[in-house]
Structure 1
Amino acid sequence: MVTVTTDARAVAETVTDPELPMLTLADLGVLRDVSEEDGRVVVTITPTYSGCPAMDAMRADLVHALRAAGYDEVDVRTALHPPWTTDWISVEGRRRLAEAGIAPPGAAPRRAEGPIPLTLGPTVRAVRCPRCGSADTEETSAFGATACRALRRCRSCREPFEHVKEI
C-alpha cells in the first residue's frame, strides 16, 4: 500500500479532460464532488452531454490518479442532474481554451426545466477569433473534432479555429 500524501480533491482536480487536455475536469466543470466515505474516495462527475464517449476515459484517469496518490478504493459516480452547462467552465478554463486556439463558449442558452425547445433555422452567434480577436467569423461546420465543438473561420485573419458550443 502507498501512503496517502495528498488530499483526494486536490488529486482529482489535476486530472485533465481526454478531449480538451488543456483543461482539468475541475476547469471543465464536470468534477462535481470528491468525498471520503469509510476509507473509500467517492468522486462524482457529470457528462458534458448524454452519451459523451469521454466518460470512460475520465473515470479511468480519476481512478488511476487517486490510486497513484495512495487511495486504494475509488468509486467514480455519475450525476445527471442538474445537467452540465458550458457556464460551469471556469474563468481559467476559458483562458486556457483561448490560449490553445479554441474559442470558449459564450453564455449558455437559458433553459426551463424539461425538454430543450427545438429552434429551426440558423442561429447567429458572435464568436471572437481566439487568434486575432475579431468578431467577424463564420461557422464552417456545426461539428468539430468532438460533438461539443464547431469549426469556424475568421474573416479577418483567415485562420480556421474550433469553438466550444454553448450548451
Structure 2
Amino acid sequence: MNVYDVVAAVVDPELRVVTIADLGILRDVTVDGERVTVTITPTYSGCPAMDVIRADIRQALRSAGYADPEIVTTLRPAWSTDWITDDGRSKLAAAGIAPPGPSRGPIALTLGVRCPRCGSPNTEELSRFGSTACKALWRCRACAEPFDHVKAY
C-alpha cells in the first residue's frame, strides 16, 4: 500500500462511515525520502475532530513505518462540501446521513432534503444543529425516521 493510500484510509472520527479522503479533508501527501508531509483542511476552522484526525494519521503512518510524519493544516482555500467524493456521498446516504448536493455553478433552490432511508422529499428540519456542528437534524414525514443532514458550505 502506498503512503497516500495509508493516509486516505483514515476514518473520520465523527462520521465513521467515511474516510478523510472521502470527505475531501485530505489535501496532499508528499514523500521526501523517509519524510512524509500530510496536508489537511478542516471542514470548518473550529472543528473539534482535527486533533483526533491528526493523531489517527500519525498512528497510520507509524504503523506503515514512517516514524515522524509532519501534518500541516491549511485553511485556504476553505473546505467545501463540493470536496466530498461521490463515493463519500454514497457512503453517507447508505448510513442514513443525507449528504449535501454539489454546489458547483449556480446555487439551486433547495426546498427540502430527501430522506436517506426511503427517498421521500417530504422532510422537515427539526434543528439546525445535529450530532455535530457540521450536521443538522431532520425528520422524514413519510417514514417518520430522524436523520442527520450534512450542511452545505
Contact 1:32 1:46 in 2 (8 A): yes
- Asked if 1:84 is matched to 2:79, the reply is yes
| Alignment correspondent of 1:20 | 15
Aligned equivalents of 1:125, 1:58: Cα separation in 2: 34
Aligned equivalents of 2:104, 2:143: Cα separation in 1: 28
| Alignment correspondent of 2:133 | 147
3-state SS of paired residue (1:152): strand
Contact 2:18 2:92 in 1 (8 A): yes
Aligned equivalents of 1:23, 1:143: Cα separation in 2: 20
Aligned equivalents of 1:70, 1:24: Cα separation in 2: 21
List per-residue Cα deviations over 1:25-68 (Å, max 9, x = no partner): 00000000000124210000000001100000000000000000
3-state SS of paired residue (2:21): helix
Contact 1:109 1:166 in 2 (8 A): no
Q: Name which one, 1 or 2, has greater alpha-carbon Rg.
A: 1
| More displaced 10-residue stretch of structure 1: 30-39 or 82-91 | 30-39
What 5-or-longer segments of structure 1 have no aligned partner?
1-5, 112-122
3-state SS of paired residue (2:89): helix
| Alignment correspondent of 2:43 | 48
- Asked if 1:101 is matched to 2:96, the reply is yes
Contact 2:82 2:104 in 1 (8 A): no
- Asked if 1:164 is matched to 2:137, the reply is no
What 5-or-longer segments of structure 2 have no aligned partner?
none
Aligned equivalents of 2:85, 2:71: Cα separation in 1: 22
Aligned equivalents of 2:102, 2:128: Cα separation in 1: 18
Q: CA RMSD in A?
A: 1.6
TM-score scaled by length of structure 1: 0.86
The percentage of aligned residue pairs carrying the same residue is 58
> Runs of 4+ in structure 1 displaced over 3 angstroms?
108-111
3-state SS of paired residue (1:151): strand
Structure 1 residues 110 and 165, CA gap change in structure 2 (3 angstroms): farther
Aligned equivalents of 1:140, 1:124: Cα separation in 2: 16
Q: CA deviation at 1:108?
A: 3.5
Aligned equivalents of 1:125, 1:47: Cα separation in 2: 28
Q: CA deviation at 1:73?
A: 1.9
TM-score scaled by length of structure 2: 0.93
Structure 1 residues 108 and 37, CA gap change in structure 2 (3 angstroms): same
Aligned equivalents of 2:152, 2:104: Cα separation in 1: 7
| Alignment correspondent of 1:10 | 5
| Alignment correspondent of 2:113 | 127
Aligned equivalents of 1:11, 1:24: Cα separation in 2: 11
